[in-house]
Chain A
């Protein structure tokens, strides 16, 4: 009887471990989403809505290959947008610095 109960306890522990690993694997997507900015989430939602409406009209049906390509394009787009934003911020900061210089040294 004790052996049977121990086997059940070990099975529950193994089941719980398996469930944890599965959840950890699934969580990858959620953590990626959490690392996105608000604008990026809105953009992806918008794109997703548009694509879904087209799909429901029978206009587009995605294959796995299409999805993977779309994911790559989106990632690239997000990265580029971030780069552009960083560049714009640096430009703005640069102008401010120049403005201070100009006012500090009038006549040059």
Chain B
């Protein structure tokens, strides 16, 4: 019998909470970014619930940074679609970005984690064949649209991008130290 991964259950509930906040943000702003975030977060919550227990987990600091970074997209400010072109560009970026992130989530499946951990082998199938960090890439693509929609979002985007970069470096180091790369 597979032992239960309680941290996965907690992460799942956290993702559902994020999804609820994203839904609330969508109701307020009607920005497509937030409703796509809801779909992605619900899918992630399902995978967290059934994920494999970790053989080795990362440091607490890394976990806190990872959760903070995962929460940042919920804080983006909405804006008015001042032109049809801008609306098409921002929504197009949101659709493309979340499609990349969602496919990455599906490819990771029950190995999904917010902070790096050893759960099975390193995923090198699906979209991971072409991109090393598709989840962060997708998020950044979608978030660029939010910056175009409201220039004040640039500050949040800069912080978010820095955190993604940090997470990418930490993940690379964490996995390479365990000779999984």
A24 touches B88 (CB 8 A): yes
Which residues, 86 to 108 on B, are CB-close (under 8 Å) to A? Answer: 87-88, 91-92, 95-96, 98-99, 102-103, 106-107
A17 with B95: CB separation less than 8 A: yes
Q: Does A72 contact B (CB under 8 A)?
A: no
CB distance from B138 to the nearest CB of A (A): 11
The answer, among A9, A24, A28, for a CB contact under 8 Å with B106, is A9
Which residues of B113-144 have CB atoms within 8 Å of chain A's CB atoms? 126
Chain A nearest CB, measured from B40 CB (Å): 9
Docked-complex contact A23 and B87, CB < 8 angstroms: yes
Instruction: Determine which of B91, B92, B99 lies in contact with A10 in the assembled complex, contact meaning CB atoms within 8 Å.
Output: B99
Nearest residue, chain B, Cβ from A17: B95
Query: Does any Cβ of B come within 8 Å of A43's Cβ?
Result: no
Question: Residues 30-72 of chain A: 1 if any B CB is under 8 Å from the residue's CB, otherwise 0?
Answer: 0100000000000000000000000000000000000000000
Docked CA distance A13–B95 (Å): 6
Interface of B is mostly: helix
Tier of interface size on chain A: 10 to 19
**Chain A positions within 8 Å of B81 at CB level:** 27
Question: Within the complex, what minimum Cβ distance (angstroms) separates B79 from chain A?
Answer: 15
B61 interface residue per 8 A CB criterion:
no
Contacts of B88 in A (CB 8 A): 20-21, 24
A5 within 8 A of B: yes
Could you jot down 20 A-B contacts, CB within 8 Å?
A2-B109, A6-B103, A9-B99, A9-B106, A10-B99, A12-B36, A12-B39, A13-B95, A13-B96, A13-B98, A16-B32, A16-B36, A17-B91, A17-B92, A20-B87, A20-B88, A20-B92, A21-B88, A24-B84, A28-B84
